[in-house]
């Protein structure tokens, strides 16, 4: 195994702007104190020799050494996100124990952290087997490699490469330089010769061009050996560094979904389309949501979804695996749910009819997930869009609540602020248009509508039924007061259900869907009712008992739906979720 010698000469970010900001410069003519001082952080086998040479490894096998500048170095203007131009020059030598065999190499690295969870050998001390290809590493390196690793598609055993978040070089060339004055005549350079090699690395932020030049003499050649134009470069925003899940490479997701092919389309989620994909390396099946470009709330809702569910962990919540942003394309990557959304099993003559045991298991799962959102996380998470089409089923038909694009978070013990009214008609709590405050109680209202649609096999609002059956909650309440509650049960169950369980679900649905927020249980109480740990009241109070609450909402609802179906030109409410429900995005 070789040992590596590296002398850093200069690192100069060049501020290409009209401002008078000073140019930051690092200059190390050697690494003897006081030049070294405390400016370098050495890890692994890295050490400073008495002659001022920085030695990264020795002749022991499988070693790695790091030498990072101790303080963070700014490469981006935070005011506009523009990356700075910079250049660096250093001298290096790779001195193998056995010159003909070589070793692995070294890399000039710009990383978001000095604490690299890296491995030696083919990983060059900058990545490990798990992180290779993970675009959330935020790492750029210029590698000088003396081993051909087929794992990373190396071109030979003596090359220079530019690596971006991966050890599969974005571009690489055999080591060498162009001789000045004689055209494109190249002089090869042996990286493992043990002789000093000078390196120049430059980045032009205006042209988005990286140039790498090397030479065996002190004169810099006119032409770089490795130029790389960074196409479609994305600025990494500050919030992108703070969110939890990993960032995927755009091209990886494009390949996984066959170019976002219509054949891979699973359906329409909130604010975008959802595609089935298969990641090449892990062979993992995923669901990729491509946030709609036409959505005015697109970026805001995208960030909300990442921030809210990126750190959530519960068996009944759809797991967010990662994300990607590429110019206008906003992508979220989820666990793939083999059986799709619950609404496909409930409405419009489904091919497969869920039995009561399966439905009750799904109901309890969603209740558990919603309880976690309201009480089990470090903040209170208001989902704001609980409904059957946002409940996904895995291969065992377990229900998982998903689509957090409308979610809001606030601290435990604080009051939710006023916000625009969002949600889907039929699931929207009647106090929301008045107060503008989404609360755990408004989520409970939607959960009540969800309970009724699962038990009855009908949407909260149906267009092709009689006037008395138009609004599901009203119809169920009417049948309850008539003592004929089981008349509302989905006929496709063929009376194969336990009456006590069905009674709990239907009565709980009515209680949760009460127009009066103070009459609704919280999710902890709802879970106890479903688990049989508490008894539901025998007598249910209708909304009108609570004076002034919900006044006018039923009138509006019936008036809106009747007018819509009688004269569709009278109203213009748009279904942004593509699932047959009518969504209200502002009132």
Instruction: Return the higher-pLDDT residue of 125 and 192.
Output: 192
Q: What is the pLDDT of residues 259-294, one digit of tens each?
A: 999 999 988 755 678 999 999 877 889 999 887 655
Listed residue (161, 151, 146) closest to 4, CA to CA: 146
What mean pLDDT, rounded, does the chain reach?
Answer: 78
Instruction: Note the pLDDT of residue 480.
Output: 94
Structural domains present in the chain: 3-233 (2.60.120.200), 239-335 (3.30.200.20), 342-584 (1.10.510.10)
Cβ atoms of residues 369 and 401 within 8 Å: yes
Q: With bands split at pLDDT 50, 70 and 90, how would you rate the model's confidence at 542?
A: low
Question: d(Cα 265, Cα 281) in Å, to the nearest integer?
Answer: 22
Q: Which residues contact 526 (CB under 8 A, 6 or more apart)?
A: 367, 371, 444, 447, 508, 512
Q: Measured in Å, how far apart are the chain's first and last C-alpha atoms?
A: 69
Q: Are 88 and 141 in contact (CB under 8 A)?
A: no
- With a cut of 50, say whether residue 73 has pLDDT above it: yes
Cis status of the peptide bond prior to 34, with omega within 30 of 0: yes
Let me know if 385 is a catalytic residue: yes
**pTM score of the predicted model:** 0.60
d(CA 247, CA 139): 12
SS3 398: coil
What is the distance between the alpha carbons of residues 209 and 203, in angstroms, rounded to a whole number? 6
Nearest by Cα to 441 from 544, 525, 317:
525
Torsion of CA 271, 275, 279, 285, to 10 degrees: 110
pLDDT tens-place string over residues 493-523 = 999 999 999 999 999 999 999 999 999 999 9
Measure the CA–CA gap between 229 and 159, rounded to whole angstroms.
19
- Name which of 442, 317, 444, 325 is nearest 391 in CA terms: 317
- Name the range with the highest mean pLDDT among 122-136, 151-165, 310-324, 386-400: 386-400
At 50 the pLDDT is: 80
Contact 480, 502 (CB under 8 A): no
- Please provide the DSSP assignment of 161-186 as one string: EEEESSSS-SEEEESEEEPTTSSS-E
Which pLDDT value is given to residue 201?
93
Q: What is the SS3 assignment for 176?
A: strand
Question: What is residue 83's predicted lDDT score, i.e. its pLDDT?
Answer: 75
Instruction: Report pLDDT for 417.
Output: 63
| Confidence (pLDDT) at 361 | 98
From the candidates 154, 249, 335, 385, give the one annotated as an active-site residue: 385
Radius of gyration of the chain (CA): 31
Angle CA 119–249–227, to nearest 5: 80
The CA distances from residue 427 to 27, 409, 430, 506, in Å, are 64, 20, 9, 16
| Run of H or E residues at 563 | helix 553-566
The residues, ordered by sequence, that sit 6+ positions from 431 with a Cβ below 8 Å of its Cβ are 437, 442, 515, 517, 549, 550
List, for residues 221-241, the tens digit of each pLDDT value.
999 999 988 765 555 555 555
What three-state secondary structure class fits 317? Answer: strand
pLDDT (tens digit, 9 = 90+) per residue, 420-468?
667 778 889 999 888 888 999 999 999 999 999 999 999 999 877 777 7
pLDDT digits (tens, 9 = 90+) for 19-45: 334 456 767 777 776 655 457 888 777
What one-character DSSP code corresponds to residue 161? E
Largest Cα–Cα distance of the chain, in whole Å?
Answer: 99
Tell me the three-class secondary structure of 410-476, residue by residue.
ECCCCCCCCCCCCEECCCCCCCHHHHCCCCHHHHHHHHHHHHHHHHHCCCCECCCCCHHHCEHHHHH
The answer to whether 62 touches 1, Cβ cutoff 8 Å, is: yes
Distances (CA, A) of 500 to 142, 504, 531, 536, 577: 68, 6, 12, 11, 35
Inter-residue contact 498 to 474 (CB < 8 Å) = no
114 in a known ligand binding site: no
pLDDT at position 458? 93
Q: Are strands 246-247 and 320-326 parallel, antiparallel or unpaired?
A: parallel
Angle (nearest 5°) at CA 554 between 553 and 558: 120
Tokens of 113: 């952290």
**Does pLDDT of 372 surpass 90?**
yes
| Other C-beta atoms lying within 10 Å of the C-beta of residue 23 | 10
% pLDDT > 70, the chain: 73
């Amino acid at each position: 195994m070789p040992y590596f010698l590296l002398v850093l000469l200069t690192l100069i970010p060049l501020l290409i702007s009209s401002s008078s900001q000073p140019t930051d410069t690092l200059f190390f003519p050697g690494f003897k104190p006081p030049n070294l001082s405390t400016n370098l952080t050495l890890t692994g086998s890295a050490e400073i020799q008495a002659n001022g040479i920085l030695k990264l490894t020795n002749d022991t096998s499988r070693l790695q050494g790091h030498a990072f500048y101790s303080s963070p170095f700014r490469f981006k203007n935070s005011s506009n996100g523009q990356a700075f131009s910079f250049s660096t020059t250093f001298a290096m030598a790779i001195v193998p124990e056995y010159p003909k065999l070589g070793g692995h190499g070294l890399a000039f690295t710009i990383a978001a952290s000095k604490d690299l969870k890296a491995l030696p050998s083919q990983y060059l001390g900058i990545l490990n087997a798990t992180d290779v290809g993970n675009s959330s590493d935020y790492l750029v390196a210029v590698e000088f490699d003396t081993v051909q690793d087929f794992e990373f598609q190396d071109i030979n055993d003596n090359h220079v490469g530019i690596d971006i978040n991966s050890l599969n070089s974005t571009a690489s060339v055999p080591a060498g330089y162009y001789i000045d004055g004689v055209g494109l005549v190249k002089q090869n350079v042996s990286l493992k010769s043990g002789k000093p090699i000078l390196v120049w690395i430059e980045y032009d932020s205006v042209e988005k061009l990286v140039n790498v030049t090397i030479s065996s003499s002190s004169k810099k050649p006119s032409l770089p050996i490795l130029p790389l134009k960074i196409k479609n470069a994305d600025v990494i925003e500050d919030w992108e560094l703070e969110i939890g899940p990993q960032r995927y490479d755009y091209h990886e997701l494009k390949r996984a979904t066959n170019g976002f092919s219509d054949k891979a389309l699973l359906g329409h989620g909130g604010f975008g389309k959802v595609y089935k994909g298969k990641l090449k390396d892990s062979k993992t099946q995923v669901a990729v949501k491509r946030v709609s470009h036409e959505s005015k709330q697109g970026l805001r809702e995208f960030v909300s979804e990442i921030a809210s569910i990126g750190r959530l962990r519960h068996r009944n919540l759809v797991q967010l695996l990662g994300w990607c942003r590429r110019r206008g394309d906003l992508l979220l990557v989820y666990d793939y749910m083999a059986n799709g959304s619950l609404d496909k099993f409930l409405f419009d003559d489904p091919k497969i009819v869920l039995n009561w045991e399966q439905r009750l298991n799904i109901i309890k799962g969603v209740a558990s997930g919603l309880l976690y959102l309201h009480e089990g996380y470090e903040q209170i998470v208001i989902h704001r869009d609980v409904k059957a089409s946002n409940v996904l089923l895995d291969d065992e038909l377990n229900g998982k609540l998903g689509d957090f694009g409308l979610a809001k978070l606030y601290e435990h013990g604080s009051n939710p602020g006023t916000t625009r009214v969002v949600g889907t008609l039929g699931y929207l709590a009647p106090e929301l248009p008045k107060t503008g405050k989404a609360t755990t109680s408004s989520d409970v209202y939607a959960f009540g509508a969800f309970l009724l649609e699962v038990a009855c096999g009908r949407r909260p609002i149906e267009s092709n039924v009689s006037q008395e059956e138009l609004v599901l909650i009203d119809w169920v309440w009417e049948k309850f007061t008539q003592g004929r509650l089981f008349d509302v049960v989905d006929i496709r169950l063929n009376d194969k259900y336990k009456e006590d369980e069905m009674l709990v679900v239907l009565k709980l649905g009515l209680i949760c869907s009460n127009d009066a927020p103070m009459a609704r249980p919280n999710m902890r109480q709802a879970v106890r009712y479903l688990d049989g740990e508490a008894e539901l009241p025998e007598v249910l109070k209708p909304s009108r008992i609570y004076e002034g609450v919900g006044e006018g909402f039923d009138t509006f609802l019936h008036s809106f739906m009747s007018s819509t179906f009688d004269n569709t030109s009278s109203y213009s409410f748009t279904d942004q979720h593509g699932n047959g429900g009518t969504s209200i995005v502002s009132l």
